[in-house]
């Protein structure tokens, strides 16, 4: 898990863009300096590093970022510009996939607290591992084919 702070002092937007190009899973908060809701949300966002340290510490494909709105022009691959601040977004698939935290259906209580952020990130990462999708093994597909063949053969003999 990588942590990335982008503000007028660091100006490391190139690194953010590079992570998008590499297809990393980016969880980002776009904020406006001095904004009341941003000032309330950012301390909770900063807790993500410690909250997920043990779980995703070795996963180099996850990026947790915060971006000052002054540098939005330098951020590539935004499907839509933030309409308000803070905007919390998940970006993946080399920028082709984007979802705002407020629009997700995987979090029960979107209260912008650390628990809801962790729930959101976990839900996105579990879907990357196959998540709730059911896949059938090859063995079961083969056995279904055999059963179908037997049934056809039996019908033909009658």
CATH number where 102 lies: 3.40.30.10
Asked if residue 140 is part of any domain, the answer here is: no
Average pLDDT over residues 90-96: 95
Q: Is there a domain that residue 102 lies in?
A: yes
pLDDT at 67 over 90: yes
Q: Output the pLDDT for position 133.
A: 40
pLDDT of residue 142: 54
Query: With bands split at pLDDT 50, 70 and 90, how would you rate the model's confidence at 93?
Result: very high
Report the domain count for the chain: 1
**SS3 (DSSP) at 76:** coil
pLDDT for 79: 87
Question: Buried b / exposed e across 56-77, counting CB within 10 Å, b at 16+?
Answer: beeeebbbbbbbbbebeeebeb
Q: What pLDDT was estimated at residue 127?
A: 84
For the ranges 28-32, 47-51, 114-118, 146-150, the lowest mean pLDDT is seen at 146-150
Domain that holds residue 27: 2-128
What's residue 132's pLDDT?
Answer: 43
> Is 41 inside any structural domain?
yes
Determine the Cα–Cα distance for residues 62 and 43; give it in Å rounded to an integer.
Answer: 20
Which comes out higher in pLDDT, residue 149 or 74? 74
Evaluate whether residue 47 is within a structural domain. Answer: yes
Q: Residue 128: its pLDDT value, please?
A: 78
45 located within any domain: yes
| Domain-embedded: residue 21 | yes
- 152 pLDDT higher than 50: yes
Average pLDDT, integer, range 36-48:
97
139 domain-assigned: no
In which band, very low, low, confident or very high, does the pLDDT at 117 lie, cut at 50, 70 and 90?
very high
- 2-6 and 97-100 strand pairing: unpaired
Best-predicted range by mean pLDDT among 40-49, 73-82, 148-157? 40-49
Residue 147: which pLDDT band, with cuts at 50, 70 and 90? Answer: low
Residue 84 CB burial class (10 angstroms; 0-12, 13-18, ≥19): exposed
Residue 152, domain member (yes or no): no
């Amino acid at each position: 898990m990588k942590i990335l702070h982008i503000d007028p002092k660091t100006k490391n937007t190139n690194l953010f863009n590079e992570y998008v190009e590499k297809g990393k899973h980016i969880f980002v908060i776009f904020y406006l300096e001095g904004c009341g809701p941003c000032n309330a949300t950012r301390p909770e966002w900063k807790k993500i590093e410690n909250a997920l340290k043990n779980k995703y510490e070795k996963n180099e494909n996850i990026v947790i970022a915060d971006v000052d709105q002054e540098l939005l022009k330098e951020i590539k691959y935004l499907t839509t510009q933030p309409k308000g601040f803070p905007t919390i977004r998940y970006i993946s698939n080399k920028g082709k996939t984007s979802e705002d935290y407020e629009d997700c259906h995987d979090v029960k209580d979107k209260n912008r607290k650390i628990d809801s952020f962790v729930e959101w990130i976990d839900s996105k990462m579990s879907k990357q591992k196959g998540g709730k999708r059911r896949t059938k093994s090859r063995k079961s597909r083969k056995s279904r084919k055999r059963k179908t063949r037997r049934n056809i053969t039996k019908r033909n003999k009658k």
